[in-house]
Structure 1
Amino acid sequence: MLPLVPASAAQRLFLGAQGLLDDPSRRATVPSLQALVERLGFVQVDTINILARAHDLTLFSRLDGYRPEQLKKLLEDKRSLFEGFTHDASAIPTAWFPHWKPRFERDRARIHAHAWWQHHFRGTDGGRVVADVKARITQEGPLKSSDFEHPEKRGPWWGWKPQKAALDFLWRTGELAIPRREGFQKLYDLTERVLPDHHGRPCPGPAEHLEWACATAAERLWLFTPKELADFWAVVEAPEARAWCRAAEAGGRIVPVAVEGADGEVRPAFALADWETRLARLPEPPDRTRLLCPFDPILRDRTRALRRFGFDYRFEAFVPEPKRQYGYFVLPILEGGRLVGRLDPKLHRDRGVLEIKGLWWEPGIKATKARRRGLDEALERLAVFVGAGEIELPA
């Protein structure tokens, strides 16, 4: 019989691994922010700004005193974080930069073979555009997409001009890096000028890279399936993760367990060998309500969020408005260690108003006075963070 991890324990292990059981009122400093990002593994960066940037919301939910300029310092001054790709653009500890080199080579081949390349460089020599863009940056220093003139269709990434596509290709394949942003527009420069100490480090071999990818993912999940290990960085395949799990189990580093889901179903998984000790040492969830970013690490895998917390979440920003069930940028509501509801916010910067367009409690959750008070306090903290002087609630 495999050791059983009850649903409540599985939830606490995941919340603890992802920094949501720590006291969010602890002091927020640049070093503590670096430590937090390292603990999470990475923080997804997104351009949507209807409320605040995704990375800022993720960090603010864990550190009340977090301010965006602290992350900017780590990315642009200290360079202890860099912008790279995991599932999407993310802020990542620079110490791991060499492990992006296998990804750079993989993505180079994949992008060349993808319809994306053919679309953006139709009617042009894509290789020549890429070479010209890199030559300009080599000679002139950091440049933005807007520094390259071309008749451009304004719109989503599929409508990019060739030079913008070239910049993205060079970034995704490691030849360019992002030294800073201006008005959230990326500036691109040669990677050897942005990260000189890390650019020249050797590319890890396949065995070293697999060990890094799976071990670091396991340390940030604590409880996982091989697929979840592979999906964490999106850099190794599931069969490789399964092979790593077999070896790690044989070496006593991880153990097979049976995990109870929020629906009561028990499924096989793995856990770090000391999971019971870690569970015993975890603090109780903070006695407060918090609003999570749609791209929060505990929600990134929607299937896992449903299985672990019984919370069925879908990001609907790209769903046509008439077909949305909830809203454009819906924030899950975390009460202590439970996901109890969701709300649809919009920041009216011109009026300094944080509007809550909709509020929904999960089935079986009653809107008690204490629960509403906790939500009101969470909204007040959020309003201060985003610079709103007033909160408008739904009728």
Structure 2
Amino acid sequence: MPNPLALSLETARRLAVTCQHLAGPRPGGGVEGLRQVLRTLRCLQLDPINVVARSHLLVLWSRLGTYDPADLDTLLWKDRWLFEYWAHAASIVLAEDYPIHQVMMRGYPRGESAYAQRVRDWLAANDELRRHVLDRLRAAGPLPPGAFDDRVSVAWQSSGWTNGRGVERMLDFLWLQGHIVVAGRAGRTRHWDLAERRLPEWASATPLPRREAVSLAAEHALRALGVARAADVERHFIRDRYPGLAEILRELESSGRVVPAEVEGGPERWYVHRDALGLLERDWQPRTTLLSPFDNLICDRARTERLWGFEFRTEMYVPKAKRRYGYYIMPILHGERLVGRLVPRLDRRRGVLEIEGLFPEPGFPGDESSAGAVGEAVAGLAAFAGAREVSYADTVPAPWRPGPRPRELSAIMRD
């Protein structure tokens, strides 16, 4: 076996950032640029919060700069190159990865946990509703949830928003089982159809053996992460669905598809996919951007702390008086470092991106160069979100406040 690669923290960070398309030349615009980014990321987490823009749109903006969200809709609803399914959360995923996700579909709800048994019992008790949903979709799909009769025999009970929502629960479970897919959206309302009618013909329906699917998913995760431990792979892409991962990583290492590594700061075993090794030889081309709270680079909070020393928590559900930073926090990526937190809010009525707070990390200098780079990123975000100007609260430290002037936003949008 070769000796492990010895990576400094700086090198490990640069590899991670470059693999995520957050450094180096930006991918080209349009549909092909989206395909390039999505083939690396493999999933975009969906989240309903829309303080500035939806999270999945921001993840793409951080990598592409200004792009047309209609191109993403084309890939989703027209080309069907993408579809919605559960990855590490409800996500947009690639149709070519259907065989990986089909492993979960075949077994859902698998296991002997109390929740899995509860779902199985509820589905059995509500078989009439299940048949009604599938018959209605076969006859008239795609349809929104309101198009189905509430033929629930046993109500779904929970302490959250799903309590008593039998039709919505049945749709979700049929989706997780792979019988139906989201065929379109009207605002936040999902329209459903039969999977057999919506998935593209080229998407393989031939089941993969579970072990082969796990191996394929692990390679996707490693390519996206750049450098990762087994636990990092476990928490990425198809989170917690990597049975036998330790042995699979050993096999990938023996075949030369992954290379072991040591990262400064600890004795853990890390891995780098062989497809990423060439990036270690490339010239470093840093960028400055802002990240969605659910960005793929930082969605694993433990890995974020280990590689960047950046403790990141969302505060959306923290009482206002107890928040340390603010409601909606976007980490600031400057080169290979996470250098601070931005708290933005889009006033859509006035067309203003309000910066309610900016909190540099200790030791990060607010010099003219770095402040200017962050200001350009803020202006780019404003342009993407459709704001006509940016305003900074008085609480924002003076070196960070100016940024590009509002009159520059149209020029940034053109870029």
TM-score (norm 1): 0.89
Q: 1:196, CA displacement in angstroms?
A: 4.8
1:22 and 2:21 matched: no
Identity among equivalent positions (%) equals 33
| Counterpart Cα distance in 1 of 2:182 and 2:112 | 20
The answer on 1:195 being equivalent to 2:196 is no
Deviations 1:264-288 (A, max 9, x none): 44432222347553311254213xx
Matched, 1:254 2:253: no
Q: What does residue 109 of structure 2 align with?
A: 108
- Work out whether residues 178 and 195 of structure 2, in 8 Å CA contact, stay in contact via their aligned partners in 1: yes
CA distance in 2, matches of 1:112, 1:274: 38
Q: CA deviation at 1:368?
A: 2.1
- Relative to structure 1, the CA distance from residue 112 to residue 174 in structure 2 (aligned partners, 3 Å threshold; closer, same or farther) is farther
What is the match of residue 335 of structure 2?
A: 336
Partner Cα separation in structure 1 for residue 79 and residue 243 of structure 2: 37
Alignment-mate amino acid for residue 142 of structure 1: P
Give the stretch that moved more between structures: 6-15 or 99-108.
99-108
Taking the aligned partners of 1:59 and 1:204, their CA distance within structure 2 comes to 30
Letter in 1 for 2:105: F
- Aligned partners of 1:157, 1:116: CA distance in 2, in Å? 21
Question: By how many angstroms is 1:257 displaced?
Answer: 1.9
Aligned positions, number: 387
Question: How far apart are 1:110 and its partner, in Å?
Answer: 5.5
Q: Distance in 2 between matches of 1:307 and 1:388?
A: 36
Contact 2:23 2:285 in 1 (8 A): yes
Partner of 1:240: 244
Partner of 1:161: 165
Alignment pair present for 1:215 and 2:219: yes
1:233 deviates by: 2.7
Matches of residues 97-176 of structure 1 in structure 2 within 5 Å? 97-109=98-110, 114=115, 125-148=125-148, 157-159=161-163, 161-176=165-180
Partner of 1:353: 352
| Cα distance in 1, alignment partners of residues 387 and 5 from structure 2 | 49
Query: Which secondary structure state, in structure 1, belongs to the residue aligned with residue 305 of structure 2?
Result: helix
Give how far 1:236 is off.
6.0
Q: Distance in 2 between matches of 1:131 and 1:149?
A: 11
1:299 aligns with 2:294: no
Taking the aligned partners of 2:243 and 2:210, their CA distance within structure 1 comes to 14
Aligned to 2:59: 58
Structure 2 residue matching 1:363: 3-state secondary structure: coil
**Pair 1:140–1:113, CA change in 2 (3 A):** farther
> Which is further off, 135-144 or 168-177?
135-144
Question: Could you say if the C-alpha distance between residues 61 and 130 of structure 1 is closer, same or farther in structure 2, counting changes exceeding 3 Å?
Answer: same
The gaps in structure 2 that reach 5 residues or longer are: 395-415
1:386 paired with 2:385, answer yes
Q: Which runs of 5+ in 1 are unaligned?
A: none
Summarize deviations over 1:83-121 as a string: whole Å, max 9, x none.
Answer: 111011111111111221111123333599517956996
Q: Is residue 7 from structure 1 mapped to residue 6 from structure 2 by the alignment?
A: no
- Name the aligned partner's letter for residue 131 of structure 2: A
| Preserved CA contact (<8 Å) 2:304 2:311 | yes
Larger mean CA deviation between 277-286 and 136-145 belongs to 277-286
Give 1:224's aligned amino acid: A
